[in-house]
Amino acid sequence: MNKTEIRVTAKWAKETANGILGTKVKEQIEKCETNIIAAVKRNEMYCHVGIYADRLTIKELTSRGFECKQEDDQRNGSYLIIKWK
């Protein structure tokens, strides 16, 4: 796209960013759900997901009652710990 095809406004910027982030967050949540289901089948009360989760992903999981903690270390890289009680 060139600049003459769109009018760049704050509303446009927000909607475009949310659209891109929305897809990314949806993919992250699906990965988290897959790991949660696998952990439940193993009778565990937590799981690790090998992602650096966006703020909105953590917010969504927290709203569902999960405890989330983002970890980032040199040896294991970024991962999200999800707990439920």
pLDDT in tens, the chain (85 residues): 555 688 889 988 888 877 777 888 989 999 999 999 999 999 999 999 999 999 999 999 999 999 999 999 888 899 999 999 8
Residue-wise DSSP of 11-42 = HHHHHHHHHHHHHHHHHHHHHHHHHHHHHHHT
The ranges assigned to domains in the chain are 10-83
- CATH number of the domain at 10-83, please? 3.30.1370
pTM confidence score: 0.75
Please enumerate in sequence order all residues whose Cβ is within 8 A of that of 20, keeping only pairs 6 or more positions apart, or say none: none
Burial 65-77 (b: 16+ CB within 10 A, else e): ebebeeeeeeeee
